[in-house]
Amino acid sequence: MNELAEVPTAVWALAGIGIVGIVATLIDLARHDVTQLPRTAWALIIVLVSFPIGAILYLTIGRVPGPRTGRDWRATEEPAAPDHGDGAAPVLRDVEVLDPRHDAPTAGSAVTDAIVTTHDLGKRYGELWALRDVDLRVPRGAIYGLIGPNGAGKTTMLSILAGLRRPTHGHLDVEVARERVGVVVDTPRFEPWLTAVEVVDLARTLTAPDLPAARNSEVLAEVGLEDAADRRVGGFSRGMFQRLGLAAGLVSAPDLLILDEPSSALDPAGRREVLDLIGRLSGTTTVILSTHVLADVQQVCDVVGVIDHGVLRFQGPISELLARTSTAYLLHVRGEAGTLRRTLEDQPWVTELTELAPGRLRIVVSDATEAERAIPTLVAAEGARLAAFTPATDLESAFLELTS
């Protein structure tokens, strides 16, 4: 007792401040989401590491600003690869990564045939939100096209799905074992002294050692590199690298294939070959690809997600996206369209008319039924020679309407 009485008042004051500080930090911990470590680990750090070091650690790297949402870090998966996005390595998921054997969260259970589901997924780089509350749903077996302008967040989204970057918040549910996911980045690079077949063999050995070595030449043939199988890849062109990346991603016959801009470096013939290959995977492999090339999406994807400034503006079948946009037609008559053009402009259901070239008109209409009934009649009444009359609502118009 006497010894306690001898403790200087200043020490009591410091101890009091420490206790109050620890309690205040613990209250703050209860009111905010946490990252980097589970909540209990942060509580232990705050209490056990000398005040104020523990509190400062939590406040600087463990506390997620803003009111608590329940989106805590949860260690359910080991890091897979370095984070190429923001330099933070190794990767620790700060989202709930669900085991397919467990119950899916609300968003996942809403779509039973979804192989990939995200809920409220957000990614921040410093002050910039690259993804904002994205709810992605990728149906099993679909070819899903993620489209958006430069900087929209496509690569960030795919990197998160692939486990290469970590989201700032949100839920991610990939119902495929990690070794059954193939990932191809947009500009794949390989050790230059390896031959193409060695690159593919390495990928096979790492991801699907049970598959026979014959699988190597099979996938090299699929991507059109059979003649270059024994060449060192140091001399490969960008397009060849892209094909080789695809072969390395395909060699394990993955259930889910994630492709970032799979045809960006290919010539028109190469692009067609790769798209045909992706199209053939439909039904057996789920493919998620990002691209700027809307024609590619229209050709190969069943489902699209339109992303812009990190916001998913549309998600659904392409047909649904096209149906949302204004209906347009291309009308081609031989020769000049002078009087026919004026007649069409007078129709109440024509909202916009552009003469793309002599005799070639793009007509946007408010009433598709009326337009389809009346336009051929008007062409005949004007004595014009009809060369073509086709729907012209394209993905580009739909895309521009959503993103501009």
Based on CB atoms, which residue is closest to ligand ATP, 8 or 87?
87
Minimum Å distance from CB 15 to ligand ATP?
43
- Please identify which residue in 156, 168, 252, 286 interacts with ligand ATP, judged by CB under 6 A: 156
- Please identify which residue in 150, 319, 377, 390 interacts with ligand ATP, judged by CB under 6 A: 150
Q: Is 155 in the site for ligand ATP (CB under 6 A)?
A: yes
- Please identify which residue in 125, 177, 396, 400 interacts with ligand ATP, judged by CB under 6 A: 125
Q: Is 256 in the site for ligand ATP (CB under 6 A)?
A: no
Element (H, E) at 218: helix 214-222
Picking from 236, 274, 233, 235, the residue whose alpha carbon sits closest to that of residue 257 is: 274
Element (H, E) at 55: helix 53-57
- Please identify which residue in 62, 108, 153, 262 interacts with ligand ATP, judged by CB under 6 A: 153
Tell which phi-psi region holds residue 359, choosing left (phi > 0), alpha (psi between -120 and 50) or beta: left
Q: Is 130 in the site for ligand ATP (CB under 6 A)?
A: yes
Q: Is 152 in the site for ligand ATP (CB under 6 A)?
A: yes
Binding-site size for ligand ATP (CB under 6 A) equals 13
Name the packing angle between helices 238-250 and 214-222 (round to 10°): 130
Minimum Å distance from CB 128 to ligand ATP?
6
Minimum Å distance from CB 156 to ligand ATP?
3
Which of 24-32, 112-120, 146-154, 277-285 is the region at the interface with ligand ATP (rule: CB under 6 A)? Answer: 146-154
Q: Is the peptide bond before 90 cis (omega within 30 degrees of 0)?
A: yes
Minimum Å distance from CB 245 to ligand ATP?
16
Q: Is 86 in the site for ligand ATP (CB under 6 A)?
A: yes
Site for ligand ATP in 296-325 (CB under 6 A): none
Measured CA to CA, the distance from residue 107 to residue 137 in angstroms comes to 9
Which of 37-45, 151-159, 231-239, 373-381 is the region at the interface with ligand ATP (rule: CB under 6 A)? Answer: 151-159
- Partnered with residue 131 across adjacent β-strands are 123
Which tokens go with 166?
Answer: 């970590």
Which tokens go with 364?
Answer: 């946007």
Which tokens go with 325?
Answer: 């946009």
Based on CB atoms, which residue is closest to ligand ATP, 287 or 307?
307
Element (H, E) at 197: helix 196-207
- Please identify which residue in 85, 224, 305, 359 interacts with ligand ATP, judged by CB under 6 A: 85
Based on CB atoms, which residue is closest to ligand ATP, 156 or 216?
156
What long-range pairs does 15-18 form, CB within 8 A, spacing at least 24? 18/51, 18/52
Contact string (CB under 6 A) for ligand ATP, positions 207-246, x = contact: ----------------------------------------
Q: Is 291 in the site for ligand ATP (CB under 6 A)?
A: no
What's the angle, vertex CA 179, arms to CA 209 and CA 252, rounded to 5? 50
Q: How, if at all, do strands 96-97 and 33-34 pair?
A: unpaired
Which distant-in-sequence residues (6+ apart) come within 8 Å of 162 by Cβ? Answer: 181, 183, 258
Q: How many CA atoms lie within 13 A of 380 on its CB side?
A: 5
> Site residues (CB under 6 A) for ligand ATP?
85-86, 125, 128, 130, 148, 150-156
